[in-house]
Structure 1
């Protein structure tokens, strides 16, 4: 039989005041700003502080924090030390604080299943069922990844979900009860498939299946015409999202409606993409963090790579925005510290591009656009021997052919093979359709530089002269000065 809790039923829902939600959102915004500045540890503190005001903030708090944890781990963030673990107990009378302590530790060690279990256990104890519906699939994913099934963890998982289902039933929230029973049953089926002779598991499977059937029957009976009208109202709000311009309050309402629809069915691709589209519309860091959390969870649960592609595109857009802002600041201030920060941001962006586009090329070997992006990033990183073959493959894409050939020529130039660079750049220029656009000018400039470095003065002069007829001050006058220098010599 399924394990039953000796605890009294707990409330299936909590009400949080608008003032608490507002304070939480202020901390979530601060967390998102810190994340964009790569201040990961303080961002974690901000998310946890915000969740202290609104512990059930799944899409605005828990999910962005989970996404941040992965980003921090990829950046080499350290796991919590012994002192920090002692200062943040994950059990005790205060279930909310214990849950937040566990989540804080999990954010610094996302692969630790014990912290996930503690978040789940305390969410049940506190009656935070929205949080439980978020953390339970993550716990189950952790259990599946174990090389050998951890029976104690599986037992805790089932106990928590059955206890939550009983409390939900007592509170009359039959939809939640059905959800909890269904996920508890899934865990038993997972073990039963690996232990087909275990009679106790079969008994528990039958018991949970019966409870689930009863809960689903109650839920079907509770569906009313009034529910349909409420759904229609939400759909009307979602239709407003198609407008080109919206007032702030209208957009807030649309996002709230989309979030509600998504939370009812987190596996629905249309609902996922609708919510993400809306969250990305204003380019606010805190809303982008929520969008990333939605996409990360969708990818983790479905393994649909398109969700990861979109999430990575958002991350690259954030990194480019940060890099540009720091470069602009350094340009204006002239401060050495600002220049160093700009260089670090640019380096982080390039490394991220290499990692992301390498993965995409491996996933989709025929994606020539990704091969071009990879070659471009490798060129920026001065990894020319790796960049050249990627760019050569990318030439098969007509949209990227000339840009790829330009970078190939430049890579040969940087390697000191000036004659080869000149040949590649000459062919690229001859094949370029518009001989007077900016790309043609850059091809001419790089070709002239290659001829100059190879000692082919006549060809260099010819290319520089041709360029100056198009743009006399090209490259801030560098082309003109080089030509004049050759004439003097």
Structure 2
């Protein structure tokens, strides 16, 4: 059964959910948990509610460390949840969530939620718990394989590949891990070269991408791929026109887009940076575009590496690290330039979290809570940060 977002539930459930999120932000965690449990009883596949509930559970445990665990005994509830995994996975999830409400670090409850969520085809809900367990023990073979499969199911192929790389270092003779890693690495290479989404039945670039400009570019790229000379002809025409109109911002932007479509990222960046210099103003969308194109350039370099080379893994790891460092530093610069842009604050918090810089991540997520579309994610990450710091 498909997981639901806030836009796919009834108005009544949505209202309860928003009241719960408001309660979390006010620090009224007991009330938030009560509301979210009601929400999930009505809509057990509502992923945003699971994520908000986890944030409330972690936040309440931080505010009252050690108190609830001493009073609560969840063995009976977990036993019932374990039995329900196959015949009624949604009931198993709700039962295990009640245990996490009192003991957010209960590993058995997390594992039951993950197993039941996978049984119910709810990979995002499974990932919430699997990531928590995996962070505590990144050598757990069973958890690592389940997490990699769940990440792959929602299109997070690079993260899945990273999990398998970690497992292979521990279980070097495990044939299942080796085969799965080869399969996933091949898929990552396809994604990096831009072949991952073309040709899927029912696929829609405009529906899949929130950024309208990126959607337009990718749709044009698909059209150009059917006529290989079209992009080159347009580039020649526009560059000739640009000689006569050197300050034509539309031409410069279009040339940058066309070179990006051809995956000539160096030339694309030259035009985008020229555009930024000519505009001499504040354009956060253009700054983000430049960062995204630079990230794609790194992906292109990674995909071009010789997998047969003895130092392939070293080279690949180095480029991935360089890419992560660039994205973090670039996002810090954007946050300084646009200090009130809460989306940038959320992006920066996520990058800090991925880099293990938890104190910095907490500061950014606390600011990002004010973003109307990032509140739940920011609260969830705050809970994860506090848990990782050992405050719970």
Q: TM-score range by the shorter chain?
A: 0.3 to 0.5
Bigger relative contact order (CA 8 A; separation at least 6):
2
Q: Which is greater in Rg?
A: 1
